[in-house]
Structure 1
Amino acid sequence: MPPAANEDVALRAMERNLRIFPWWWMTRWVWLGEGIWVIYLTTERGVTLGEVLLFQAAYSVFVLASEIPTGMLADRWGRRLSVILGSVVAAASMLTFGLAHTVPLLAFSYVLFAVAEALFSGADSAILFDSLKALGRDAEFTRWQAREKVIGGAATGLFTLVGALMVKWVPLEVPFIVSGIASAPAFLLAFALTDPPRTGERHTFLRIGIAATRVVLGRPTLLCAALLMGLVTVAIHTMGISLQPVALNYGVPVWSLGIFVGFQLAFSAFCAEFAERLGRRLGLTLLFLVMPALSALALLGGIGGRFWLYPIFILPSLGWNVLWPFVSDYVARRVDDHVRATALSVASVVMHLMTLAILPVFGFATDRGGLNAGLALAALSLTAASLAVFALWWRAGDRTLDPADAHAA
């Protein structure tokens, strides 16, 4: 086949990737349990709220253990393979979570969730970035990252409402089992993706891991960007885990929790829709300053069982959805092609390390002093940390919003 024809086939494959991604984003986590999973654990499986926070920290350990190896797998043997495997493991994790009747089985489901997340992390963003780059459209990356959050948030919001309403007629574990079955189409969509062409030599596992870790941890700007994203991730995890108990403090029935969680997810999708425009309007400096601090202080809105503070309490959704496209773009454009997925995984490891270090402290404070004490500690400590990390990032330089002005690794 002539070179021009080969190039045309490759470009059509990249365009097909862009058509597949929205459907895959919608189906990779058909999670019907977002509005009920904490109540499911505490009422059906006898787990305390503090133990739920420890479970979430353990999840971060599992992600931490698998994040870089899966990123290296994606960079060495193909990002498509990583996404295919992640789609299979994601469906298995939801089935296991719903069928588990013991703490060890629940812990195993968290392992599966973490492995699926790690297989997705970095690989999907790298396929997207390289597909756009092959088409000469890489300037659209932040817009596509925001679109992912819009589609994923809207789909999860709908799934959440369905799952919460289901518990009026079925046991609490049924929505999780249905979630696993309904996520199966994501495997077929992932299988239809094509790995984009990459420049440069495809290195060994060890060289990929060392190179990616060195560039992210050795460059203060990239490390601080990952740390800021990590603080926002801790804030949104704290909000997400506490949202159901906070809503119950309003005196509402369990079945209505889906409305509160669904609204939060719809708000996330709304924020993601305008993330690219808002981020560019604010500029990178204000974005990195405001979003982490706002996400942290918003946790004070969950204190006292005051319904009118609910809109403030869910503001970490704004911080996370606006900041993430720019942090991932910031990292992706400053590393070489052959380590991009692993570098994004290293940044994700930094985020999960922070979750691992911080969430157990909040869980201990919640079990000892109550929900209000845990949220207050989280809000104040995360705010102080975000301001300190921002100061370090500011001093390191490389504060341009337009990645075209950045120096590649």
Structure 2
Amino acid sequence: MNCSRNTVLFYISSLFGNVYLERAIWILYYQSIGLSFLEISILQALINASMFLFDVPGGIFADKFGRKASLIVGRLLIIAYYVIVLSTTNVAALGAGSILFGAGMVCISGADQAFLFDSIKTEDSNDNYTKLYGIFNGLSLLTLSFSMECGGLIQKHSWFLVYFLSIVFQSCSLFFTTMLKENNRYHSAVDNVRDKSMSPRGLNISSASKFFITAVALFWGIASIYNMFNQKLLSSVGLPVSSVALIYAVGSPVVALFSMLAHRFENMFSSKIVLICGFLISGVLFSIIMDRSVYIYTVSFIGVSCLYNLTEPIVYNKLNGLVTSEKRATFLSFINVLSSAFMFVLLPGIGFLGDRLSLSMIFTVLGLISCILCIIGVVLEYRKRSITTIQ
């Protein structure tokens, strides 16, 4: 597979941007500076509230002014967040940083996928999007795996160094992002709609697709919270910070492999079968965590992450085809805003109940509900497509 220089630069900038040294231990850092679990949950909720508020405007910004501009703004905001974390332990200031981080993430999310999709389409490889996105996502996860393990090791010497090096890597990503070029096909599409409305009403989607998107967004939101709070589950059974980071790091290559092989599963069976089986098995993995043990927590955590990243490229491949290029980032932002909204609503409740009830029970209930809804959503979405094909 030959990639253009622009696509290679995009890969490099994204890989640098995926070096989050604190990803597997940030909750433990906040605990180390004296924050309660409820305060930590509120800080994460602020990130999701920011994503909820800025997601759609961020997508519209990327569609109007370019994916590159959106990516640059996103990296700058994330760097600002790390600077705040390094500068203070004040909860209010950290809250402001969380808002900046959320805004930065939404500037990148949607814009990066739209940039990659348009680049692939320009290179006449549109049919390989599941494969190319899966490989790219897998490489990003491998980078994240390496960074998480390094973060756990660096933390033994200094929490400061963890966040300082994060600034360095985000700055490298910013540098390579400035070297990107928007493809001509994208500019032509934008020129044709520059004066037209980019409001949500302009995205015509069927009821079945809306249900499917909502269910998947709920699953993504719950799985993301589970991914974060698994740090607390693992530490609750006596694991030290470095061991928690090691589990996250060791699991990531396995997760990356599933993402890279998504297209093979899709070709071997069908996207519908892969999605249904993925959500079904995820439900089983959520249900087994009622048995408190390091082994169960690890298997469930890695398993849900694997299936999340197996189904994600397939879902995005389908969703990308529902809209035209000039509205793609906006559309993807609507999906992300739903996921952020679910996280924003659920996080404070989970944080409050997590100090009083079993986190295992909470995630079992939420996980099962989301997986059942996703299976129903897949059936409805593909039934709609079958009916359309017959007609």
TM-score (norm 2): 0.89
Match of 1:21 among 10, 35, 39: 10
- By relative contact order (CA 8 Å, sep 6+), the higher-ranking structure is 2
Give matches, 1:195-234, under 5 Å.
195-196=182-183, 197-198=185-186, 199-200=188-189, 201-204=191-194, 207-212=197-202, 214-215=203-204, 218-234=205-221
Quote the RMSD (CA, aligned, Å): 2.6
Deviates more, 1:200-209 or 1:21-30: 200-209
Match of 1:244 among 231, 235, 259: 231
Partner residue, 1:63: 51
Partner residue, 2:337: 349
5+ residue gaps, structure 2, are none
Partner residue, 2:25: 36
Q: Is 1:75 aligned to 2:60, yes or no? A: no
Pair 1:296–1:222, CA change in 2 (3 A): same
Pair 1:29–1:400, CA change in 2 (3 A): same
How much does 1:47 deviate? 2.1
1:25–1:151: 8 Å Cα contact kept in structure 2? no
Query: Structure 1: which amino acid aligns with 2:68?
Result: R
Partner residue, 2:40: 52
Give distance in 2, aligned partners of 1:297 and 1:205. 49
- Deviation readout 1:61-100 (Å, 9 max, x if unpaired): 1001111111111111111111122222222222322333
Give distance in 1, aligned partners of 2:192 and 2:364. 44
SS at match of 1:101: coil
Deviates more, 1:185-194 or 1:286-295: 286-295
Identity %: 18
Match of 1:192 among 160, 164, 179: 179
Partner residue, 2:96: 108
Give distance in 1, aligned partners of 2:264 and 2:82. 35
TM-score (norm 1): 0.86
Partner residue, 1:95: 83
1:230–1:355: 8 Å Cα contact kept in structure 2? no
Partner residue, 1:360: 348
Give distance in 1, aligned partners of 2:36 and 2:156. 23
SS at match of 1:193: coil
Give distance in 1, aligned partners of 2:165 and 2:377. 46
Match of 1:395 among 380, 383, 390: 380
1:75–1:342: 8 Å Cα contact kept in structure 2? yes
Partner residue, 1:153: 141
5+ residue gaps, structure 1, are 1-11
Give distance in 2, aligned partners of 1:300 and 1:194. 46
Give distance in 1, aligned partners of 2:192 and 2:85. 37
Pair 1:63–1:229, CA change in 2 (3 A): same
Give distance in 1, aligned partners of 2:261 and 2:151. 27
**How many residues are paired up?**
384
SS at match of 2:193: coil
How much does 1:245 deviate? 2.1
